């Protein structure tokens, strides 16, 4: 198993010197360029603060052998194309762009928390948070774990069904509205159709709204639990039209008893349906 292969700190440092032509100055930067991880991560391996294991460790070992022997295993471009065709994932955003990771952060915070995600993934909370902020603190296998966790390690043309559960205790603020926008844009490169359904009558302290978004083979259901009193006033639901203002069309289904609560929102609904 490749994940059982690990390099001790002393070998990480010596291999770094080897990659840098024997020079000790700048060795971490040179190793960083070859491995695609941050110099800080490599230095933490060399100090024994983190373990260098799995694919990065194997890559360092194979690079060292190729450098010393001056040889490499032959592989054709046809083989590379076959690998991409069979195993390549087509995602709809660039992880190297700050907004790509910011949207992943928004999705995690919308449906859970950074702390909960780091525990579920067995990734340090600080390392995960810094990566989501744009730092190169995660190696490639951990990045794929994060993408799998949020459902993004997939071909955008493949069938995808997701359910997000959002629990609101107060009137949503700008951050919640932006988080919904960011999360939706991750899964839908093109504006989706959206239906918002009021589940049941406005009885009791909590009400449930279900937003169903569809485009091609991607379906996302957002279950929004919120205080009933928010649904009984126009300003309490106006945020929905801000959160979903980038969809292709929006249809709102509510009970007959609730229709009077949305009279002042009709212009917004018509505008979105005609967009």
Partners of 206 in beta bridges? 227
189-221 residues labelled b (16+ CB within 10 A) or e (exposed): eebbebbbebeeebeeeebebebbbbbeebbbb
The per-residue pLDDT for 137 is 84
Q: Please report the pLDDT score of residue 255 as a whole number.
A: 60
- pLDDT of 245 reads 86
E strand map for 14-64: 52-53
Q: Which of 22, 14, 16 is nearest to 41 (CA)?
A: 16
| pLDDT values of the chain reduced to their tens digit, one per residue, 275 residues | 445 789 999 999 999 999 998 899 999 999 998 888 889 899 999 999 989 988 889 999 999 988 888 877 777 888 877 776 666 656 666 777 778 888 899 889 888 899 999 999 999 999 999 999 888 888 877 888 898 888 887 776 778 898 998 888 777 788 888 889 988 988 887 889 999 887 766 566 888 889 999 998 889 999 988 888 777 766 667 788 888 988 888 887 766 554 444 444 444 444 444 54
pTM reported for the whole predicted model? 0.59
Domains of the chain: 2-69 (1.10.260.40), 88-150 (1.10.260), 160-273 (3.40.1530)
């Amino acid at each position: 198993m490749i994940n059982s292969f690990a390099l001790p700190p002393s070998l990480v440092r010596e291999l770094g010197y080897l990659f840098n032509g024997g020079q000790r100055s700048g060795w971490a930067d040179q190793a960083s360029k070859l491995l695609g991880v941050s110099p800080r991560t490599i230095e933490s391996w060399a100090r024994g603060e983190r373990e260098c294991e799995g694919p990065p460790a194997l890559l360092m070992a194979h690079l060292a052998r190729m450098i010393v022997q001056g040889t490499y295993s032959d592989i054709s471009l046809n083989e590379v194309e076959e690998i991409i065709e069979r195993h390549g994932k087509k995602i709809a955003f660039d992880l190297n762009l700050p907004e790509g990771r910011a949207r992943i952060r928004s999705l995690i915070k919308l449906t859970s928390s950074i702390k909960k995600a780091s525990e579920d993934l067995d990734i340090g909370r600080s390392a995960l948070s810094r990566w989501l902020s744009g730092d190169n603190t995660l190696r490639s296998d951990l990045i794929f774990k994060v993408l799998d966790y949020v459902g993004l390690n997939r071909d955008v043309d493949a069938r995808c069904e997701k359910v997000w559960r959002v629990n609101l205790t107060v009137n949503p603020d700008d951050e919640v509205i932006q988080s919904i926008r960011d999360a939706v844009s991750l899964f839908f490169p093109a504006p989706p159709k959206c239906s918002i359904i009021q589940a049941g009558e406005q009885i009791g302290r909590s009400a449930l709204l279900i937003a169903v978004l569809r485009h091609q083979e991607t379906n996302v259901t957002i279950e929004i639990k919120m205080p009933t009193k928010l649904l009984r006033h126009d300003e309490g639901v106006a945020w929905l039209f801000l959160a979903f203002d980038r969809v292709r069309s929006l249809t709102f289904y509510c009970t007959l008893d609730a229709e009077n609560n949305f009279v002042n929102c009709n212009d917004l609904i018509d505008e979105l349906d005609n967009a």
